[in-house]
Amino acid sequence: MGRKILFVTTDQQRYDALGCTGNTIARTPVVDALAADGIVYHRAHNQNTVCTPARATMITGQYVRTHGVVSNGVPLPVDAPSVAEHLHDTVGYRTALVGKAHFQPAFDPDGKWIENRLAKDGSTGPYRGFDHVELAMHGYLRRWHYDKWLEANGSQWLDAYYPLLNFASMGLNDEGGGDTDAPEVKHNPIPRAMYHTDWVADRTIAWLDSLDPTDDWFCWMSFPDPHHPWDPPVDEVRRRIDWRDLDLPPGHPGSADKAVEILAQKPHHWLDWYEGRFQNMEGGPMKFVPGKMSHDQVREVSALIHVENELIDEALGRVMARIEERGWGADTDVVFTTDHGELQGDFGLLFKGPYHVDALMRVPLVWRPAPSAGVSAVEVHEPVGHVDLVPTFCEIAGAAVPEWAQGRPLPTAPGSDRQWAITEWDSQFPHIGMRLRSIYRAGWLCTAYEPGPLYQGTEGELYDLAEDPLQWRNLWDDPAYRARRDELVTDLYDNLPPEREPKLAVEAPV
């Protein structure tokens, strides 16, 4: 009997969302306790800032340009590498995925992709090496296992959620709600016991209870929150955090004039989005204009995100308690992270997209090794990435790291030779065609813009995070930093793997 692996992911959660990473509003004692007994990676970066590409890296252990899923509109091929399949086939692990998968496009009203047909077909797997799958998304969408469960157990709540998909326009709604008419916000009357966060925990516990005590297992528990729409149970909101008590987030400029001053230093799509000249089609509601957002709306969205993070933490606590009850506590590794971040008021913006800054690229990453492994609690500040997760899971399980995995096992102590992390963006829309390549190294963040419809290929961003942690001062065109910029760009391209050929097609652009 070996070590078990609980892999916990959230969706669109900032690095600073947890107490162990500096949050002073949301209470996250469960993850904080895991961090106190384990390893906190303070410079973990994703390899893409939207869902499907980031999640494809998590399951394959490959850079985006290798697995080929460059956007949410590109499905991960069914024969792509899978760490679940590898652990299942090579070392006999039982495997499960509960919650959000999103390896294939979610904008799929006709059920073209198997991921979106499983519940309708009455199937719980196998799928991509997972023996068992039960899927959920952001609310009720008539498609996934959670939706079928809600229809059977709480049909009076089918209309409780914010309507995420608007198939009439094949886009995202930008209508508001709540107290401030904030975008993609709704007072959700659903009871907590019926909400998808607690459902994910309940179904994870049910799967764990189906296992033999001697089984080794890998369970990916994937919460859909705190991704928009922001509609947690309103009773929980009212008893936890009042948005009226919140300050603006530290990264918010404080005024429209200051936001314009900051954004004007960046490549033009930043300010164009803020003022409504650019549609951020790949990162948020298409009609949303950040510059029209009020300060109170920012506060309300932030409060709802904090509430959702608290609910996730408490749900994880129930799962951890069940693991202890089953006698697995000493032999269970827990890895907690998210796919990408959220702007959440930084620069006066909201949601995500082609904006390569810490708000979206820097992610929480906590690994609590099994207590039986004898690993000391530490904090690691060297850069690591999601590409390192697959080799880490293999090392935990005693499985050989497969040749297709491109990362390295996460360091278990500070002082490793890790020097850089790379994140990429490729627009799925030809008329936008943005291609961003970013490297973090030694306290500097550098993003090169490759040629396309919006940019010539000479533009970019350069930030000294020690002096400018909020990334308000773009040094790209400053002659005093030209040598540093050129050095980082060279380092970036020297470390990028070759691009996949032929490229995968964009089949469902959203």
Q: Average the pLDDT over 61-85 and give the result.
A: 97
| Alpha carbons 439 and 455: distance in angstroms, whole number | 19
Q: Which pLDDT band, with edges at 50, 70 and 90, does 277 fall under? A: very high
**pLDDT single digits (tens) 375-397:** 999 999 999 999 999 999 999 99
Over residues 117-175, the pLDDT tens digits come to: 999 999 999 999 999 999 999 999 899 999 999 999 999 999 999 987 644 333 344 67
* Sign for the pseudo-dihedral over CA of 370, 62, 458, 342: negative
Structure token digits, residue 176: 């508001």
Mean pLDDT of all residues belonging to the chain: 96
Distance (Å, rounded) from C-alpha 399 to C-alpha 219? 16
Q: Is residue 435 part of a domain?
A: yes
Tell me the C-alpha distance between 173 and 157, whole Å: 20
The tokens describing 110, both together, are: 């006709």
Summarize pLDDT for 468-493 with one digit per residue, the tens.
999 999 999 999 999 999 999 999 99
Q: What is the mean pLDDT of residues 55-77?
A: 97
Asked whether 41 and 389 are in contact (CB, 8 A), the reply is no
pLDDT at residue 174 in the model: 64
Whether 50 and 483 have beta carbons less than 8 Å apart is answered as no
Note whether residue 506 is domain-resident.
no
Query: Does the reported pTM lie above 0.85?
Result: yes
> Is 507 a domain residue?
no
From CA 239, how far away is CA 33, in angstroms rounded?
24
Task: Provide the pLDDT for residue 173.
Answer: 42
Render pLDDT for 259-276 as a digit per residue (tens, 0 to 9): 999 999 999 999 999 999
Quick one: average pLDDT of 1-5? Answer: 89
CA dist 133 and 51 (Å) reads 18
Please determine, for residue 429, whether its predicted confidence score (pLDDT) is greater than 50.
Answer: yes
Any bridge partners for residue 165, and if so which? 172
Q: Is residue 102 part of a domain?
A: yes
Q: What is the 3-state secondary structure (H, E, C) of 165-199?
A: EECCCCEECCCEECCCCEECECCECCCHHHCHHHH
Spatial separation of the C-alpha atoms in residues 422 and 387, rounded to whole Å:
10
pLDDT band at 2 (very low <50, low <70, confident <90, very high): confident
Sorted by sequence, the CB contacts under 8 Å of residue 184 that are 6+ apart come out as 162, 172, 173, 174, 175, 176, 228, 229, 230, 285
Note whether residue 501 is domain-resident: no
Distances from the Cα of 150 to the Cαs of 139, 206, 339, 395, in angstroms?
10, 17, 26, 38
Q: Is residue 505 part of a domain?
A: no
Query: 431-457, pLDDT tens digit by residue?
Result: 999 999 999 999 999 999 999 999 999
| Contact (Cβ atoms closer than 8 angstroms) between residue 413 and residue 82 | no
Residue 200 CA to residue 197 CA, distance in Å, equals: 5
Q: What is the pLDDT of residues 229-238, one digit of tens each?
A: 999 999 999 9
pLDDT for 286: 87
pLDDT given at position 65: 97
Here the tokens at position 55 are 């999640």
pLDDT at position 169 is: 37
Residue type, 407: G
CA distance 241 to 433: 40
What DSSP state is assigned to residue 348? G
DSSP calls for 231-245: --BHHHHHHH--GGG
- Confirm if 388 and 380 have CB atoms less than 8 A apart: no
What pLDDT is stored for residue 171 in this prediction? Answer: 38
Domain that holds residue 292: 4-495
Q: How far is CA 139 from the centre of its chain?
A: 17
- End-to-end Cα, the chain, rounded Å: 45
Given a contact cutoff of 8 angstroms between Cβ atoms, the answer to whether 39 and 375 are in contact is yes
Whether the Cβ atoms of residue 61 and residue 394 lie closer than 8 Å to each other: no
Backbone angles phi, psi at 462, to 5 degrees: -145, 125
Torsion of CA 365, 232, 107, 207, to 10 degrees: 60
Kindly state the tokens that stand for 355: 């904006």
Q: Does residue 73 register a pLDDT over 90? A: yes
- Flag whether 509 is in a domain: no
pLDDT surpasses 60 at 74: yes
Are 95 and 219 in contact, with CB atoms under 8 Å apart?
Answer: yes
Domain containing residue 166: CATH number: 3.40.720.10
From CA 391, how far away is CA 456, in angstroms rounded?
38
In this prediction, residue 108 carries a pLDDT of 87
Q: How many domains does the chain have?
A: 1
